Amino acid sequence: MRYRPFGRTGLNVSVVGFGCWPMAGDRYGAIEDDEAVRAIHRALDRGVNCVDTAPAYGAGHSEEVVARALEKRRRDVILVTKCGVKAPPPGQPGPLRDASRANILSEVDASLKRLRTDWVDVLLVHWPDAATPFEESMRALEEVVASGRARFVGVSNFTGAMLAECMRTRRVDVSQVGYHMLDRRQERETFPYCATEGIGVMGYGSLGHGLLTGAFTADTTFDLARDWRGGGVAFGQPIFRADNLKTNIGVVERLRREVAEPRGVPLSQIALAWVLANPTISTALVGARTPAEVDANDAGADLELSPAERKAIETILAGVAGRVREFTPLRPAMQPWGEEIPTGRPA
């Protein structure tokens, strides 16, 4: 496993981090908790030192599973959780965004209780909240740091302009954003600012929310009641929607056939190596439900793509359907955020 500086925190983070959204048990289909614990242990044994969770993942269930996994290994990891997203009152749609001081302070205490720890290494505001000034949220995060409940703080799914506004009140130590072959918006939106300011960057969705594993076919369907991908939209991009999904499965098949197979590795390793080739990325989050998935994915941390492979990938990715240029995270995550880019044109 390789490690990179985590922005200016002074921490060195594994280039692959363990993403715990699948452990919610309600958004990627059912999952067996004991197997999830074994998957985290396998990742730690392979040198992964970053575990990312959130109270919004399964109404706290993911944090509870992480607590079980880290019972005897808490000091071995950079533990990341979030705040600012909560369940709605009964009968109302949700989740709700609330990055107010009162809610942040309440949420962090609840998270620490579920995680069975006195502190987290990084606490992030999960999504921007239009109803709360960023100054209020950042001052609340500073309170959490001053109290010893978090070592470092940051934001998730914020635009470049939002990052700059937050920085006027308190330094953003870490930014977490979606980044993978099918979503390159951050190359323009936040990466230049993060590189200039020395902000650590966590990229989520490194395997395209499963698309870049090569496991889906043209007949693949998702149960909307148990799997968010059934709605067709991934963080503003309708890459899973109907004909877009069929087109993208064809793109993925080309990547597998023309890049992964000649290299003799699974497509997931190519996808992970592609993300890690961007020097702005501190750690690429990868979700895994079993130890075998951990083994299959993490090997990509040591893979270097050749110039010819990168050129081939760029050509193939021009055929992706459902991409949008807009990054407007104040809108609901599972609704389109803009007009689709015609295939054959750069993102």
Query: What is the per-residue pLDDT for 285?
Result: 96
Using 50, 70 and 90 to split pLDDT, how confident is the model at 25? low
Instruction: Give the span between the Cα atoms of 229 and 234, in whole angstroms.
Output: 7
* Residue 150 near residue 11 (C-beta atoms within 8 A): no
pTM over 0.85: yes
- Report the sign of the C-alpha dihedral through residues 289, 208, 279, 53, in that order: negative
Helix (H) or strand (E) segment spanning residue 276? helix 267-276
Spatial CA neighbour of 66 closest among 78, 143, 8: 78
Query: What is the per-residue pLDDT for 30?
Result: 56
Q: Does 329 have pLDDT greater than 90?
A: yes
* Residue 244 near residue 322 (C-beta atoms within 8 A): yes
Helices in 151-290 by DSSP H: which ranges? 160-167, 186-189, 191-197, 242-255, 261-263, 267-276
Give the whole-number percent of the chain exceeding pLDDT 90.
78
* Residue 150 near residue 117 (C-beta atoms within 8 A): no
Q: Does 27 have pLDDT greater than 80?
A: no
Can you say how many angstroms the Cα of residue 102 is from the centroid of all Cα atoms in its chain?
26
* Residue 42 near residue 298 (C-beta atoms within 8 A): no
Mean pLDDT lowest among 216-230, 233-247, 251-265, 303-317 = 216-230
Phi, psi values for residue 97, rounded to 5°: -95, 130
Query: What is the per-residue pLDDT for 174?
Result: 98
Give the whole-number percent of the chain exceeding pLDDT 70.
97
Instruction: Give the span between the Cα atoms of 130 and 346, in whole angstroms.
Output: 31
Looking at residues 174-195, what average pLDDT do you find?
Answer: 98
- For 94-146, write each residue's pLDDT tens digit: 689 999 999 999 999 999 999 999 999 999 999 999 999 999 999 999 999 99
- For 272-304, write each residue's pLDDT tens digit: 999 999 999 999 999 888 888 888 877 778 899
Looking at residues 9-32, what average pLDDT do you find?
Answer: 80
Query: What is the per-residue pLDDT for 154?
Result: 98
Using 50, 70 and 90 to split pLDDT, how confident is the model at 335? very high
Q: Does 29 have pLDDT greater than 60?
A: no
Average pLDDT for the chain: 93
Query: What is the per-residue pLDDT for 315?
Result: 96
Structure tokens at 184: 């390159």
Residue type, 66: V
Looking at residues 65-74, what average pLDDT do you find?
Answer: 94
More confident residue, 298 or 184: 184
Distance in Å from the first CA to the final CA of the chain: 31
Using 50, 70 and 90 to split pLDDT, how confident is the model at 24? low
Helices in 92-226 by DSSP H: which ranges? 101-115, 134-146, 160-167, 186-189, 191-197
- For 246-272, write each residue's pLDDT tens digit: 999 999 999 999 999 999 999 999 999
